[in-house]
Structure 1
Amino acid sequence: MKNPWLLRFPPRPGARVRLVCLPGAGSPASLFHPWSTAFPESVEVCAVRLPGRGGRLREAPFRRMEPLADALAEALRAECDRPLALFGHSLGALVAYEVAARLRHLTGDAPAALFVAAHKAPQLGSARVSCHDLPDDELLAFLGRIGGTPPPLLARPEIRRLALPALRADFELDFTYTYRERPPLDIPVSAFGGRADAMVTESELDAWEARTGKAFLARRLPGGHFFLTGPAGPRMLSLMRGALLAPDSPASLTPAQQAGRRRGP
């Protein structure tokens, strides 16, 4: 059955692990389409399609984290027939963390790994960027400064009319985020950032280490807030691929071995 929350690039029924990717504020799910060529057949690359965008344009976008994370975690229950790994960029990093924290409670099985990029650790709070109530022109200028959706594209009236409501909802969702204290995740966490990203400092990226009781990796790569779409993108994907395809990773286990791991001794 098709999951309206996910786009698969492409469907890989025989994959051993499912990489679920969450875009940042205002970014399309199609951002992750090229990633399928960076991973072998054992990894199915999926992108989360949030309400208010693309094929879900007529649905109201979420403006608060709790209901969004609850709804997405529930939707991903149907995807736990094999191990999940989560990736989130910017706002998507916060959403990915909140979903990861919920999945063990819902499914009894935590995700295999969490990859985050371009956002400070959740215990440090939101990015505190109050863009959701800016006039259109000021919002477009901000997007131009951080290198997001090209302002000339959003300057087209028909694009602005369709895109700005969801974009404002995303910024409001991040701005109103409040961290809820909970134990560290029992999964590996990798945090990536751009060296020229003025929105996330090195120490704020390193602070993700407190959110895991397992292995932690932090890497600052060349580029700004959207470093993953530039020359540093392949390096980040190489690090992610190495983590997912390590000898004891879910993608390297047969289905029988995965089932045995879930059952335990």
Structure 2
Amino acid sequence: MTTATARPWLPGGLPETGATKLFCFPHAGASAAVYRSWTAAAGDDLVVLPVQPPGRAERGRERPHDNVEALVDDAFDGLADALTGDFAFFGHSLGALVAYLLTRRLAERGATLPRHLFVSGRAAPQLPDTRPPLRALPDDRLAAELHALGGLPDVLRREPSLLAMFLPLMRADLAVNETYRHVPGERLPVPVTAFGGDRDPRAAEDELAAWLELGTDPAMFTYAGGHFYLEDRVPELLRVMRRRLAR
């Protein structure tokens, strides 16, 4: 396995295996660690590769991106040599947007495409964003909104100094998500599966269903829960992914 320092985008390194590689892109404010439990549950036929964007964990000294095109350019350069052979993408919330746009970038460059694009917890990118933006809210209101979504760990709510360190990263990630403007393109020649919670205030069922217009062999799965419905359903999601990849 390669070292994390050699591959900053892949802190767990790149295993030498013939299994399908599942690159997992984190939600806003999160690091690659959010997929730690996925790696143990994946099994021998699927290897989970958590992706680490700049500005978090061991990349905390790097400035996080606040523009989606720059983020996707950086991800393309940082992951390009790993995106070979048999691989797929998964992204939740902001990660879904990044995974989709990176797939488009690969298609535009004539590079190897993921075998499947799995997206979760975000409205499809071609839909207008009608929700009030969060990135410029005062700290207390932003923290309250994040807590209501279930995306603010209790330790950050209890420790103002930690919250003050966290919010700039969150604001940058929110800017990536909220300033994106869709440019229509060709339907991706990649199967697309959308996942979501049936009570997610950030991705209603019809907004999830619109992802199915963007690729081939579309499918959608919804589960009881809100924006972070997936936290208790990792084995189930991975089973669905295996079935979809086996088609």
Q: TM-score, normalised by structure 2?
A: 0.92
Question: Does the Cα contact within 8 Å between 1:74 and 1:106 map onto a contact in 2?
Answer: no
Question: Does the Cα contact within 8 Å between 1:3 and 1:75 map onto a contact in 2?
Answer: yes
| Residue 128 of structure 1: how far off its partner (Å) | 3.7
Shift in alpha-carbon separation, 1:97–1:126, aligned structure 2, 3 A: farther
Can you list the C-alpha shifts for 1:122-156, whole angstroms capped at 9, x where unaligned? Answer: 10144744111111111110011111122542441
Aligned structure 1 segments of 4 or more residues deviating by more than 4 angstroms: none
Q: Does 1:43 align with 2:46?
A: yes
3-state SS of paired residue (1:87): strand
Question: Does the Cα contact within 8 Å between 2:194 and 2:208 map onto a contact in 1?
Answer: yes
RMSD: 1.8
Q: Does 1:234 align with 2:235?
A: yes
Decide which of 197, 220, 223 is 2:222's aligned counterpart: 220
In the other structure, the counterpart of 2:205 is 202
Can you list the C-alpha shifts for 1:229-257, whole angstroms capped at 9, x where unaligned? Answer: 02x3332221012223x1x6xxxxxxxxx
Decide which of 9, 25, 30 is 1:27's aligned counterpart: 30
3-state SS of paired residue (1:184): coil
Question: Does the Cα contact within 8 Å between 1:5 and 1:50 map onto a contact in 2?
Answer: yes
In the other structure, the counterpart of 1:87 is 90
CA distance in structure 1 between the aligned counterparts of 2:223 and 2:118, rounded to whole angstroms: 15
3-state SS of paired residue (2:11): strand
In the other structure, the counterpart of 1:106 is 109
The letter of the residue matching 1:103 is L
Mapping 1:137-156, distance limit 5 Å: 137-156=140-159
- Stretch moving more, 150-159 or 180-189: 150-159
Alignment length (residue pairs): 243
- Stretch moving more, 31-40 or 191-200: 31-40
3-state SS of paired residue (2:145): helix
Percent of aligned pairs with the same residue?
A: 37
Question: Does the Cα contact within 8 Å between 2:41 and 2:234 map onto a contact in 1?
Answer: no
| Residue 107 of structure 1: how far off its partner (Å) | 5.1
Decide which of 5, 8, 11 is 2:9's aligned counterpart: 5
Question: Does the Cα contact within 8 Å between 2:31 and 2:53 map onto a contact in 1?
Answer: no
- Stretch moving more, 141-150 or 105-114: 105-114
Question: Does the Cα contact within 8 Å between 1:12 and 1:41 map onto a contact in 2?
Answer: no
CA distance in structure 2 between the aligned counterparts of 1:132 and 1:71, rounded to whole angstroms: 22
| Residue 12 of structure 1: how far off its partner (Å) | 2.9
